[in-house]
Structure 1
Amino acid sequence: MKILFIEDEPVLLEEMETYFKALDFICEQAATFCIAEQKLRDYIYDIVVLDITLPDGTGIDLIKGIRNGNAETGILILSARDSLQDKLTGLNLGADDYLTKPFYLEELSARINALYRRKALKGVERISFDRFTIEPLSKSFFFKDKEITLTRTEYDMLTYFVVNKYRILSKASIAEHLWGDHVDQSDNFDTVYVHMKNLRKKLSNASGKDYIKTVYGMGYKFTL
């Protein structure tokens, strides 16, 4: 996944780039409206994370250009102003999500991964790996021609892993993806483990393989 971070706070910009590079994302940065505009003309990004307030312009004015250049690019707005009008303006112009400062990088990661998953699966009729097939429109899952019954949470977890295969996903990012703002209401991260265990068992029973690997101290990784 290729991300452009548009942010005029040097410390936050470096923190975001360092964090996501460690997760194997391709990251670029722009600290001004002018630099951001040039990069958006020259390159295509999977996700653009943009601050509303820039020293030489407003991030809001970049949204239309992003949409004209590539309708499939995910756009997430950052702003220190918790203003309903800013949020509505950005979303109405084509932004996909909105995050108010200050925020945790884990939360930003969960939002970005969820946004990328929605974009990646948009209009896709089926996703295949090994002899498994996911059909997003019907939310069905098959091994060869036999359907495997998954709960809603197991299905969401599986698609999240498949879209982010070979990336390490922390329990926090998985929980945030599955339950969003209600993550604090879950019984800590043990709930993630329970769903993970059930999903692993169903995959293993069908194919004899364990696709979800535990990366100790970090999280989980889906491998083929």
Structure 2
Amino acid sequence: MKILFVEDEPVLMEEMTVYFSSQGYVCEQATTFFQSLGKVETYAYDIAVLDVKLPDGSGLDLIPLILNKSPETGIIILTANNSLNDKLEGLNSGADDYLTKPFYVEELSARVNAIYRRKTLKTSENLKFADFMIDPQLKELYYKDEEIQLTKKEYQLLMYFVVNKNRVVSKSAIAEHIWGDNFDQADNFDAVYVHLTNLRKKLNQAAQHDYIKTVYGMGYKFSC
């Protein structure tokens, strides 16, 4: 995932880029409106994190330029605590979310991942990994043109892994993705384990390869 950070506070900029770089993201920086203008007119990004108050302009004015270049880019605006108008203007201009300063970088990470998953899972294009192909419209999985029957939960789990490829995801993150607000109905993580085991078995039987690795004490990692 490629992220553009537009922020003029050096400490915050360093904190964000160091954290997201450590998570495997490609990070680009801009500290002024003019500098960011050149980037958004030239490149496309998966996510843009925009500070509203810049020394030479407003980050809000970048939103239509970004979306005109790349409509699928997810946008998060950073605002001051009392800037309700900025929040409303940003959301009305096409921003997906906002955070008020100060904030924890882990919260920003959660917002970024949520937006990226939501936009990726809405895609109508087929997704491929190894010799597998996923049809998001029909919600079907194929291996070398042969359909592999998945339950609804197994399909949701597979899509979550594909979107988070090469990243360690926890059992709680998986459960929240699959059950959402109804997560509390699951007394423990046994259901996650059952669905994961079944999905793992089906992928392994088709390709003779284990794509889902257990990272002990942390969760699971999907790689291909």
Q: Same fold (TM over 0.5)?
A: yes
* Matched residue, 2:117: 117
Q: Partner letter of residue 37 of structure 1? A: L
Pairing 1:81–2:97 present: no
Q: What is the CA–CA distance in structure 2 between the aligned matches of 1:121 and 1:100, rounded to whole Å?
A: 27
Give matches, 1:4-23, under 5 Å. 4-23=4-23
Q: Is the 8 A contact 1:110 1:177 kept in 2?
A: no
Separation in structure 1 between the aligned mates of residue 20 and residue 172 of structure 2, nearest angstrom: 15
1:195-206 map, 5 Å: 195-206=195-206
Distance in 1 (alpha carbons) for counterparts of 2:186 and 2:83: 29
SS of equivalent to 2:95: coil
Which residue type is aligned with residue 107 of structure 1? E
Q: In the comparison of the two structures, how many residue pairs are matched?
A: 223
* Structure 2 equivalent of residue 60 of structure 1: 60
TM-score (norm 1): 0.78
Map 1:139-218 to 2 at 5 A.
Answer: 139-143=139-143, 144-152=145-153, 154-170=154-170, 174=174, 177-178=177-178, 193=193, 195-216=195-216, 218=218
> Do 2:148 and 2:202's aligned partners in 1 also have CA atoms closer than 8 Å?
no
CA RMSD of superposed structures (Å) = 3.2
State whether structure 2 residue 94 is matched by structure 1 residue 94.
yes
Unaligned 5+ runs, structure 1: none
Q: CA deviation at 1:27?
A: 0.5
The structural deviation recorded for 1:49 is 1.0
How many Å separate the matches in 1 of 2:128 and 2:24? 23
**Which amino acid is the alignment partner of residue 93 of structure 2?**
L
Distance 1:68 1:129, change over 3 A: closer
Secondary structure of the residue aligned to 1:166 is coil
- Please tell me whether residue 33 in structure 1 is matched to residue 23 in structure 2: no
Shift of 1:190: 7.2
Q: CA 1:14–1:179 in 2, change beyond 3 Å: closer, same or farther?
A: farther
Q: CA deviation at 1:159?
A: 1.4
Percent identity, aligned pairs only, is 61
TM-score normalised to the size of structure 2? 0.78
